[in-house]
Amino acid sequence: MHDRAAGGFIGSHLCEKLMSETPHKVLALDVYNDKIKHLLEPENAHPWSDRIQFHRLNIKQDSRLEGLIKMADLTINLAAICTPADYNTRPLDTIYSNFIDALPVVKYCSENNKRLIHFSTCEVYGKTIGSYLPKDSPLRQDPAYYVLKEDESPCIFGSIEKQRWSYACAKQLIERLIYAEGAENGLEFTIVRPFNWIGPRMDFIPGIDGPSEGVPRVLACFSNNLLRREPLKLVDGGQSQRTFVYIKDAIEAVMLMIENPARANSHIFNVGNPNNEVTVRQLGEMMTEVYVKVSGEPKLETPTIDVSSQEFYGVGYDDSDKRIPDMTIINKQLGWNPKTSLWDLLESTLTYQHRTYAEAVKKAISQASATS
């Protein structure tokens, strides 16, 4: 697995928006460009052909990076290893990708007086205060103990043996470094904390456009199960709670940050949808219903199975209990609110997944059964 930047899930949607709705020029940096090919080819077919340039590079070892940052007014850093399956099986890569490899980007922006929008994660919050209260405590229902606020909530991680937190810890440290660059050296920065952005082109389908043994994030994992007509695997019963926001809503928030530097600089923004909260089990059930509608295929007799986190992710896995973003700061500074319901965003995403992958998956399954 490589870090993804302009050519990844978020980067591709952002490039699309910048091309179709603004006059901005984009220098798109990534190792791959498969998800933005439609913006780059064929040459001169789009009105924006002269406004987007793709540079194939890996930010961790490329001498061209500083020159490209100097050419731009604003750098948006999306490069990261951000798949939970990697955090405790590849903790060194995870820490290097999210902290060490991000250092030159911050340094070059600071030294050349360039603005930086850095993508962090809601994982920097770790666990909620409420998760440490007794199970039967009424305070667990009090938002003060679980709603996550950019300027108030602590970052609570598990013990060092729980290597799942290698990602969150690296992300927190780069946030602190960026904040310090702002305080000491005047770096103009905005930090984005995404809360489960969902939509077309997210992650990969194992064995189709990603490694067969790969384990993507929950939405692509469940999509893969649905496409293959396998039961959805619920880790530790799927009790963790999450909120999901539609990629197109989230990109609107990023556009507001780009266009309003005076209101966005020196701020950390939660970007999520507190109205779309479900347990992972409920998400699986909802996706199963939506996929029946989208594909016309009947539901499996056993739509879900429970697996332990150790079995699914390996030793050292841990999880956060709830992730509900407080929206006060982004609302006040940028006037942004998400619009799309969970059902609608799942319908849009699964329609895309079915249209893009259903035939390829069927072919892969029939080839596998022919050779077995």
Question: Rounded to the nearest 5 degrees, what angle is found at the Cα of 71, between the Cα atoms of 68 and 74?
Answer: 90
| Contact criterion met (CB below 8 Å) for 329 and 150 | yes
Q: What is the largest CA-CA distance in the chain?
A: 64
125, 167, 317, 357: which is the annotated catalytic residue?
A: 167
The helix/strand/coil state of 157 is coil
Question: SS in 3 state form for 37-52?
Answer: HHHHCCCCCCCCHHHE
**Structure tokens of 317?**
């896995």
Residues pairing with 55 in the sheet: 29
Q: Are 294 and 351 in contact (CB under 8 A)?
A: yes
Q: What is the DSSP string of 36-103?
A: GHHHH-STT-STTGGGEEEEE--GGG-TTHHHHHHH-SEEEE------HHHHTTSHHHHHHHHTGGGH
Measured between alpha carbons, how far is 321 from 310 in angstroms, rounded to an integer?
A: 17
Angle between helices 280-295 and 218-227 (to 10 degrees): 40
Active site residue 125: no
Q: Which are the catalytic amino acids? A: 167
